[in-house]
Structure formats: C-alpha cells, structure tokens
Chain A
Amino acid sequence: MKYFYKSNYRAGGKYELLSAYLDNELSDEDVKKLEEELQFSKELQEKLTELKKIKQLTISSIKPVQENPFFEARMAAALKIKNPWHYKFRRFSPVFSVIALSIVLMIVLRYNPKIIDRLVDQQKSSITAFYKENLKPLLYTANLTNEDIFNFAFYHQLPLDSKKKQYLLLGSDKNGKQYFEIKDAGFIQNMNNLARFSKNLNLTETQQRQMDSILASYAGDLQAQVLVNEKNTVAINPNIWNFNKAIAIDLISFAQKVNGKESLKVVPPGYNQLPSAKALKQMAKEIKSAKNNKYIFFTSDSIFSDQYQFNKGEFNKEMENWSAEMNKNLKQIDKQFKNFNVNIHFGDNFAKFQKGSSQNKGFNVYIDSNVCRVDIPEIVIPPIVLPNMGKLSEKIDSLIKYFGSYSFSIPNPGKDKNFNYKYFFSDSSKGYKFNYKAFGFDSSFTPGNSRADQMLKKRFKNFSFNPDSMASIFKMFMGDSSNGREMQKQLKNFEKRMEQFQKQMEQMQKQLKKNVPEEQQGKPVEI
C-alpha cells in the first residue's frame, strides 16, 4: 500500500509545512516565513488550497459515533464482573454472614438446648421486674374515709385521690365478666350514704363506733389492691372484687345484727335478699382469708398477670419515716416562725392611743385618717441620732399603702401559735379584742355584724376604704388574695429587717455604752 503516498511525497518539502500550518501547529517564526513565501508562490497557494479541501472533506465525511444510553449501565455491570475478589466477597458477604451465624447458632444450640428458653425467661423477668419496681398503693393518697369504703361496698366506687376528682369503678357486664374503669367524679351522685344508712338503722353511739371500726379495718387492705409506679404501671389485684363483697357482707351482717327488721330497708338494691347471719359471717371470713398475690399489670406497652407481694409493713414503715422527716422539717420551719402580736388601732383621734400603746407588747399599728404609726416592740434604742431612719420610714410608707386598701392574710396557726389581733376604736365605748382562730370565725361574729356595720360606716367614712361589713374586714385581713400575700411578705421582710436592725443596734449599744450616761439608757424613743 505504500505506493499511495510515495509517488506524491516530497521529502522535507514545503508541503509538509503547509499541512502543519493548516493544523495550526507551526511556531510563530515558521508561520511568518511560510506566509512570506506563500505571497510569492502560486504553487504553494494551490497546494494549500488543495490541502484545505482534503481536510474539509475528511471532517465532513466522518459522522460522530452515536451515543449509547446503556453504555454506563453495561460498564457498571462489567466492572462488577471483572472486579477483584474482594468485591465479589463483599457482594456475597451477607450470605456468608448468615451461614456463619447459622453454624454458630447450631453449635450453641447443640450443646445448650435450653438457652433460648432461659433467655426468654430472663428477658421476661427483667421486663416484669422493670414494671414492678417501686409500686406504691394508689389509694394511699386518697385518704379513704368510712364513707368512701361504704360507697365502695355498695356502689363499687373508690376515690383515687384526696380531692376525689377521679374514681375507680368496679363493674360486671351481662355475662358476669368483671371489669374496672377510672372515671372523673362528675357522675358521682350518691353522697352521704353512710350517714343515711346509720340514720335509718337507728344506731346508738356504740353501734356507730362499731360500724366505723368495721369500715376502717378495710382501709389498709384496700390500699394494697391498686398499685402504681412512676413507669405508668397500674397493678390491680383481682381480689379487689372480693373485698368489695366482703365489706358489703360485713356491713349487711352488722345491720342484721343491730336492727334485723330495719336492715332490709336500708340495704341498697341487689343486697336485699340476705342469707343467714351465720352464713354471711362465714362468707366474709372466707373472702378475707383468701390471699391472692396475683396482680394484673397494665403497662404502657403490655398487659400481663404476675405474682407480686406488696409488703404492707415495709410500706407503712417507709411512710412513717417520711412522715417523721416531714414533721422534723416542719418543726424547723416552725422555729423560724416567730410568735408575734399585732395590735391594730382604728380611730380618728390619734392622741388617745398614745397612752396605752407603750404597755402593749408586740407591734402596735395605729391607723388614722391622716397617719399610720407602727410601734416596734422590745427594741431598746439607744438615745443617739439613729442612722438610716429614712429607709425605715420608707418601709412604713409602703406599709401604709397596703393598709389603706387591703390587709394581709394570716397564716394558719397551730395550737401553740397565737396571733393576737386587737382592734381598738378610739372614741367608741366598745373596742374589739379577739384572738384569731382559724375555724368558725364567721359564725362567731355573725351576730355582731349589723352593729359593727353601722359603727364602721360612721367611723371610717374619712378613710380611704369603706368596709361594708365586719365580715368583709375579716375576709380582707384573712383572705388569700395577692394583696394579702404581699402584705404578709412585706411584714416578714419588715420583721427580718427589724431583727437585723436590732442586732446592729445592740452592737452599736455595746460600742457606745461606755460613752452614754446610764440614766439615759433604756428610754423608748418614738419613731
């Protein structure tokens, strides 16, 4: 085939340069030289035209290869096939893993055939243990009263909390299957059932006590029937239905005993066909003695039945400890809570109170149409120019504001804590002095209200507040309003500041004692 080009080939000739020139592959210098030659050589010009024509024909004759949309997919497949051994191994690695795992399992099971059962049991026990942890009686907080237990016996309802917002209801359907449900208190209608029951039976005081003791004896047992914990587990002992019957039977038995004729009238519907007293007693005994430690556990993800021993003694001990601790804390709080007297004087003649005021111990608060004065008790102020009195007067000013419209709420006193409030009315022949007691104050003061109203309207007409009745004053003073709380807070702060002030004064007194004449010491100074 060599003859194709040999005949036209001119070695080292200009034509080869022309070809390279056409392909843009010559250096600038060669291009310059060649272009100069091209200007004067017709032969070279013709050859260039010829080469251009050939190049153009070459370019136009070849169509680009068509794209193959499947090329990459084929390529990927080929890569997988021709890949090294590790790629193949990786491809089959899940299969190898499964085979290896199966072999291991087969070997393990061959030598430990009961391992799966053990694992399942272990898992099961750990799950149940998890849910059974720290179970506490739900009804403990409900403070079950005899009325509640009575209602449980005959109306199958038990309050679940002390405020009796929710009730546990026991029931049974048409087929006799028992169920329970928890409902809000809205539907509960039968109240004071125990009182009506007692009344209808015409119980004597002794009989009443007997019945109360019967009911109270079930309270502890009932508590252990419904248990809960912080994992939202509710455990119910099916024996609760038996307790329900046992209490009912015990009560009916008692009713028969104390008043056989009337008992038929007072027993709720469904319980009026009574067996003999002996049979009833036997039934109650059987139910009580039937110990059932099997609880039904309702958890967030499963329901199961399992044995559970609720240790009532331990729980009671725990509660006692808790109670003791709480009492201890309360005592500490009580220690910090000082006894003090507050004497409040209302009147339009301020001067009249000045005489007797110094004899009163505790705080003396004088309220007039123009002024409010607070006498501070048991503080020996040395006869010197007192520093920071401006701050104290600011405090008193803020107190006046609250006295103008509201008063403070009085904390609930214990037996030993007396908050003595004395109200004095300046030019009235009748003053009021009373010891505050937490309960029943409304009834104590009701008879005097109308007279007090008239008197107050007269005496307080110039004051910034105009009380409608005596009771309203007490309510204002003892109410739990935000202003009342604020007043209380203010007084506590005030007391603290006074204590600090007293300490400071004592220190100052010690320091100044040497310089102050003895006869001037101990004299009270008015603020």
Chain B
Amino acid sequence: MKNKKNEKDLALPQILNLDDDFSLIKRFIEGDESTFSVLVQRHKEKIRNIIYLTLGNHDLVDDIAQEVLLTIYKNLSRFRFESQFTTWLYRITINKCKDHLRKINIRHIFLSFKDSDEEPGYEQSPETSDVKEIVHKAIEKLPDKLRIPLLLKDIEGLSYREIAESVQCEIGTVKSRIFRARESLKTLLKPYEQELL
C-alpha cells in the first residue's frame, strides 16, 4: 500500500502553484516577506496541535508555536527544498517540544528529591470515571518516545515516513513504537476494562 502511494507520487508530475509552500518560500527568499504570513496562516493549527499532543498542555501551545515559527522565519532562507516543507516544519516542532520536555525533565530531577514517592503507573487509582479522561491520562503516562509517534499517527494522521522524518528515526522504529504504545496503553487501561466496555 505504501509503495502504491509512492508510485502515485512519482506518476504525477509536481505542478507548483503560485501559492504552494515551495513557491511561497521562494518568494520569501527573494525578499517578499509577506508570504511568511501565508505560511503561518496555513500551518499554524497543525503546529499548535502537534505541540498540544506532544506536551499535553494548552498553556504552552502558543508560546512553543511562536518559537517554532520564529525559528522557521530565521532559517527559511536556508531551506533546501529536498523534503516537504511540512516535514521540516514538524521536525522543528517536535524538536522544540523535546527541548521543552527536556527542560521539564531536568526540573523534575530536582523536584523529584522532594516528591520521590510520586511514581506514575497503573497502580494509582483513578480519580475520575469519565472514559475520555481515563484514556487521556493513560496516554499522558506513556513515555515521549511512544506517545509522540502514537498521537502523530492517530490524531494528526501523519504517515510512518512523516513521523520518522519528524522524530528523526527509522520507519521500522516508528512502527514498533506505535505498536508498543498501544500495548502499553492497553496495560494502563486494564483496571478500567469495565468502564471502557
């Protein structure tokens, strides 16, 4: 199925429109900075969603999205047109999110001295009986490596290839991680089988 997709892509010649991403980037490089606002308008929601899915925090979405877009603005003139703009965009977004998570984790190391007994896991009893809330909390408990590919696939609908390029790993790794994420999720949700049925 995947190969079929690639064949289709090869069969169709790529016709650039005036307003496709590459054309807009070219115009931006030539000095027409107004095209950047078109790119922002076009991709902002995707960026914000990925950030939200990756970090699981509404409050940080706009700040991180802004950082992502500023990074793109500064580096857009160096874009090499070798991959799709969205792939590059998602990679920067994921990296920004990872940076943020790393900062949080570093902070968490210092905080963990105080709250060392707070261990996430299925042993903890849930405080809510709402199915969506239970699943959401279970997803949040997944490690980043599993959670991010899972959400990029199930929520954002990215292909394994796009996810692999975004998180900078092999496609096989993505496939494996998504499966492992689902298996872990199943384990985490086992105590709530009755509610979920």
Assess whether B66 is in contact with A67, with CB atoms less than 8 Å apart. Answer: no
In the complex, A247 Cα to B121 Cα: how many Å? Answer: 123
Residues of A close to B131: CB separation below 8 A: 57, 60-61
Residues of B close to A20: CB separation below 8 A: 160, 175, 178-179
Residues of A close to B96: CB separation below 8 A: none
Contact mask A380-422 → B, CB, 8 Å, 1/0? 0000000000000000000000000000000000000000000
Residues of A close to B132: CB separation below 8 A: 60-61
A9 at the interface (CB under 8 A from B): yes
Assess whether A72 is in contact with B185, with CB atoms less than 8 Å apart. Answer: no
A4 at the interface (CB under 8 A from B): yes
Cβ distance A11 to chain B, nearest Cβ, rounded Å: 9
Contacts A27-B1, A62-B136; is A82 near B70 (CB within 8 Å)?
yes
Please name the residue on chain B nearest to A18 by beta carbon. Answer: B179
Contact mask A5-41 → B, CB, 8 Å, 1/0? 1011100000110011001111110010000000000
B160 interface neighbour in A16, A23, A31, A68, Cβ under 8 Å = A23
Assess whether B154 is in contact with A72, with CB atoms less than 8 Å apart. Answer: no
Residues of B close to A54: CB separation below 8 A: 182, 185-186, 189
Contact mask A99-127 → B, CB, 8 Å, 1/0? 00000000000000000000000000000
B62 interface neighbour in A50, A61, A62, A74, Cβ under 8 Å = A74
Segment of B9-17, B40-48, B105-113 in the binding face: B40-48
B100 at the interface (CB under 8 A from A): no
A79 at the interface (CB under 8 A from B): yes
B78 at the interface (CB under 8 A from A): no
Please name the residue on chain B nearest to A10 by beta carbon. Answer: B183
In the complex, A72 Cα to B34 Cα: how many Å? Answer: 13
In the complex, A61 Cα to B150 Cα: how many Å? Answer: 13
Assess whether A78 is in contact with B70, with CB atoms less than 8 Å apart. Answer: yes
Contacts A57-B196, A74-B66; is A23 near B153 (CB within 8 Å)?
yes
B155 interface neighbour in A58, A67, A78, A79, Cβ under 8 Å = A58
Assess whether B184 is in contact with A4, with CB atoms less than 8 Å apart. Answer: yes
Contact mask B155-183 → A, CB, 8 Å, 1/0? 10001100000000000000110111111
Contact mask B56-77 → A, CB, 8 Å, 1/0? 0010011001100110010000
In the complex, A26 Cα to B5 Cα: how many Å? Answer: 11
A290 at the interface (CB under 8 A from B): no
B37 at the interface (CB under 8 A from A): yes
A370 at the interface (CB under 8 A from B): no
Interface set, chain B 1-49, CB cutoff 8 A to A? 1-4, 36-37, 40-41, 44-45, 48-49
Assess whether B176 is in contact with A16, with CB atoms less than 8 Å apart. Answer: yes
B135 at the interface (CB under 8 A from A): yes
Contact mask A71-96 → B, CB, 8 Å, 1/0? 11011101100100000000000000
A64 at the interface (CB under 8 A from B): yes
In the complex, A1 Cα to B123 Cα: how many Å? Answer: 12
Assess whether B187 is in contact with A62, with CB atoms less than 8 Å apart. Answer: no
Assess whether A65 is in contact with B52, with CB atoms less than 8 Å apart. Answer: yes
In the complex, A65 Cα to B64 Cα: how many Å? Answer: 13
Highest count of chain A CB atoms <10 Å: which of B121, B132, B184:
B184
A264 at the interface (CB under 8 A from B): no
- What interface size band does chain A fall in? 35 or more
In the complex, A76 Cα to B37 Cα: how many Å? Answer: 8
Assess whether B175 is in contact with A65, with CB atoms less than 8 Å apart. Answer: no
A55 at the interface (CB under 8 A from B): yes
Residues of A close to B61: CB separation below 8 A: 65, 68
A456 at the interface (CB under 8 A from B): no
Cβ distance B7 to chain A, nearest Cβ, rounded Å: 11
Residues of A close to B136: CB separation below 8 A: 61-62
Assess whether B70 is in contact with A62, with CB atoms less than 8 Å apart. Answer: no
B89 at the interface (CB under 8 A from A): no
B139 at the interface (CB under 8 A from A): yes
Assess whether A65 is in contact with B143, with CB atoms less than 8 Å apart. Answer: no
A59 at the interface (CB under 8 A from B): yes
Contacts A58-B139, A71-B44; is A25 near B185 (CB within 8 Å)?
no
Assess whether A62 is in contact with B151, with CB atoms less than 8 Å apart. Answer: yes
Assess whether B73 is in contact with A79, with CB atoms less than 8 Å apart. Answer: yes
Residues of A close to B153: CB separation below 8 A: 23
A51 at the interface (CB under 8 A from B): yes
In the complex, A337 Cα to B45 Cα: how many Å? Answer: 94
A5 interface neighbour in B146, B159, B196, Cβ under 8 Å = B146
Residues of B close to A75: CB separation below 8 A: 40, 44, 66, 69
A66 at the interface (CB under 8 A from B): yes
Assess whether A79 is in contact with B154, with CB atoms less than 8 Å apart. Answer: no
Assess whether A28 is in contact with B4, with CB atoms less than 8 Å apart. Answer: yes
Assess whether B49 is in contact with A64, with CB atoms less than 8 Å apart. Answer: yes
In the complex, A313 Cα to B52 Cα: how many Å? Answer: 96
In the complex, A5 Cα to B134 Cα: how many Å? Answer: 18
Contacts A25-B160, A60-B135, A74-B62; is A8 near B183 (CB within 8 Å)?
yes
A8 interface neighbour in B62, B122, B155, B186, Cβ under 8 Å = B186
Assess whether B175 is in contact with A25, with CB atoms less than 8 Å apart. Answer: yes
Please name the residue on chain A nearest to B41 by beta carbon. Answer: A72
In the complex, A71 Cα to B184 Cα: how many Å? Answer: 35
Residues of A close to B143: CB separation below 8 A: 1, 4
A15 interface neighbour in B121, B141, B160, B179, Cβ under 8 Å = B179
In the complex, A1 Cα to B180 Cα: how many Å? Answer: 13
Please name the residue on chain B nearest to A12 by beta carbon. Answer: B176
In the complex, A50 Cα to B183 Cα: how many Å? Answer: 10
Contacts A72-B37, A74-B62; is A19 near B179 (CB within 8 Å)?
yes
Cβ distance B131 to chain A, nearest Cβ, rounded Å: 7
Assess whether B2 is in contact with A23, with CB atoms less than 8 Å apart. Answer: no
Residues of B close to A68: CB separation below 8 A: 48, 61-62
Residues of B close to A71: CB separation below 8 A: 44, 48, 62, 65-66
Assess whether A19 is in contact with B66, with CB atoms less than 8 Å apart. Answer: no
B142 at the interface (CB under 8 A from A): yes
Residues of B close to A16: CB separation below 8 A: 175-176, 179
Please name the residue on chain B nearest to A11 by beta carbon. Answer: B176
Assess whether B182 is in contact with A65, with CB atoms less than 8 Å apart. Answer: no
Residues of A close to B146: CB separation below 8 A: 5
Q: Show the binding face of A for B, using Cβ within 8 Å.
A: 1, 4-5, 7-9, 15-16, 19-20, 23-28, 31, 50-51, 53-55, 57-62, 64-68, 71-72, 74-76, 78-79, 82
- 4 nearest A-B residue pairs (beta carbon): A61-B135, A19-B179, A4-B184, A65-B52
21 A-B residue pairings within 8 Å (CB atoms): A8-B184, A9-B180, A16-B175, A20-B160, A23-B160, A24-B1, A26-B2, A28-B3, A57-B189, A61-B133, A61-B135, A62-B151, A64-B49, A64-B155, A71-B65, A71-B66, A72-B37, A72-B40, A74-B66, A78-B70, A82-B70
